[in-house]
Structure 1
Amino acid sequence: MFGGGGGLDPRKMEQMMNQMGIDMDELDAEEVIIRTADHDLVFESPDVTKMDARGQETFQIIGTPSERDRSEGSADGSSSDGASFDAEDVDLVATRTGASEEDARAALEANDGDLAAAVAELE
């Protein structure tokens, strides 16, 4: 079908993908975390490729994940009791109130993740 000995020439493959409207970019990812209800799959130093095919983005992750129980907590904002707050929520509360990230996280924990109540507590 494609002829030749060992496969497609990478330049020809790239030309074909461009003709089909597919753009590929390698991302310099340090870590990828896939969260499920029970555990996290953590990919350290993965190879990540982003493909954009006419507006539809897909990501390919190549690496070996380690499995981490969700109750262990992590550097992303999870506490030892399993409560987790998005970094965006912490940043929002800190920016809105002028509080430190630690104070914003503590206010979120004290208010069970309620953004409005955390902001009200710190204002």
Structure 2
Amino acid sequence: MFPGGKINPKKMKQMMKQLGMEMETIEDVRRIVIETGSGNYVFDGAEVVATIMQGVTTYQITGEARFEPAAIEIPEDDVRLVMEQTGASADAARGALKATGGDIAEAILRLTAA
């Protein structure tokens, strides 16, 4: 990318400053969580560099992420419907709904087949 392959860090910093670009390492990062609809990406002890260019800050995260799936939220109306259709307890209906990813028909079939 650059002639000679080696860049003097001081020279690089000076060139970045001339371009209106600043980089800052954020120290003592303990945890970063990126929340999505299907779950969270969690980084423990990641390295984070903030780059500011033309008034816009961009963050670069370096590290290993683990994915934690989102907990399925089961509406009480669904629990009641499964209970009415199967005669199962609220706990059994809720458990069947969680096991089927919230699919009411599958939960009913699961409880009536048992």
Q: Which has the higher contact order (CA 8 A, sep 6+)?
A: 2
How far the C-alpha of 1:25 sits from its partner, in A, is: 0.7
Segment of structure 1 superposing worse, 6-15 or 36-45: 6-15
TM-score, length basis structure 2: 0.58
- The 3-state SS of whatever aligns with 2:61 is strand
Q: Tell me, which stretches of 5 or more residues in structure 2 are unaligned? A: 75-114
- Runs of 4+ with deviation above 2 angstroms: 1-4
Counterpart AA for 1:59: Y
Q: Counterparts of 1:19-30 in structure 2 under 5 Å? A: 19-28=18-27, 29-30=29-30
Aligned sequence identity (%):
32
TM-score, length basis structure 1: 0.54
Counterpart AA for 1:2: F
Q: CA RMSD in A?
A: 2.0
How far the C-alpha of 1:23 sits from its partner, in A, is: 0.9
Match of 2:45 in 1: 45
Which of the two has higher C-alpha Rg? Answer: 2
The size of the alignment, in residue pairs, is 73
Q: Counterparts of 1:1-123 in structure 2 under 5 Å? A: 2-4=2-4, 6-28=5-27, 29-71=29-71
Match of 1:115 in 2: none
Q: Deviations over 1:57-112 (max 9, x none)?
A: 1000000101111218xxxxxxxx69xxxxxxxxxxxxxxxxxxxxxxxxxxxxxx
Could you tell me how far apart the structure 2 residues matched to 1:8 and 1:58 are?
Answer: 23
Could you tell me how far apart the structure 1 residues matched to 2:46 and 2:30 are?
Answer: 7
Greater strand proportion = 2
